[in-house]
Amino acid sequence: MTSAAEAIVLRVTDQGRTPWPDAVAVEEPLEIRLGWGPVLGPGRPVSITMRTPGDDLALAVGFLHAEGILRSLDDVDGVRHCGRPVRDDGTSNIVKIQLRAGARVDLSRLERNTYSSSSCGVSGTRSLEDVRTQYPPVLGPGPFLSATLINTLPRRLKRHEGVADQTGGLHAAALFDGEGRLVRVREDVGRHNAVDKVIGAEFMIDALPRANSTLFVSGRASFELVQKALMAGIPVLAAVGAPSSLAIELAAEHGMTLLGFVRDGRFNIYCGSSRVDAP
């Protein structure tokens, strides 16, 4: 499966315009369905998100976990592509998550999960109210990060960005353990999709909550990304870009460490400074 496509562009220089092959990020819709009862049923559509194909199963699971719909791996009977295949590897643009009989799922939460774009995610105001009633995992005191280690994160993420380097059109998210070792990296045209792919992969191996870990993202730190990190029990969120005011508010309320502008050998601490060992 490829995450990049070729386009012919007109490259403009002081010598004029020249046709030029260029790599662009692939963006396609993914419909997420939730099934219960007969396994062969079509399931109920929950959300449509614009994403870069790849790691679709983890993306679907990560999204529903962040929204408080999937609480435990024990609730999941299976995750698979369904519908008409649209790619050579047999995958489609529909993923169905089949629930086990008796799964503890709050179906009323499905009412607002209808569409999220590759850039924006879900409604911040409604999501903030939901997070405050979901009781995400209590964050532990660690990890304790040195300024030196934090300043290595952009370079280490860059080393693992494949399609992003080709296209310039993808975001990346990376998970690091308490010792600063890289656990996994995912890319997508959407910031929140890249994070969902990382967290969904952890959910599918029953590794959540992910205490004593750091999530590093290539873009800005939005409210949605803080929400997703909180629901996964990740105590530190670091971003190349700036956080929003609502992201800072939510992170501070739950005792998360939020770092922004992590680049060029410097960074800002917006809250949770006790986890950072810096002069």
- Which residues are part of the catalytic machinery? 120
Q: Are 78 and 72 a contacting pair, CB within 8 Å?
A: no
Instruction: Tell me the C-alpha distance between 262 and 237, whole Å.
Output: 11
Kindly provide the residue ranges of all beta strands, DSSP E only, lying in the chain, ordered along the sequence: 4-13, 16-25, 28-35, 44-51, 76-81, 94-99, 115-116, 145-146, 171-176, 182-188, 214-217, 236-239, 257-263, 266-271, 276-277
Instruction: Tell me the C-alpha distance between 152 and 76, whole Å.
Output: 37
| Residue at 184: amino acid letter | R
* Number of Cβ atoms within 10 Å of the Cβ of 115: 11
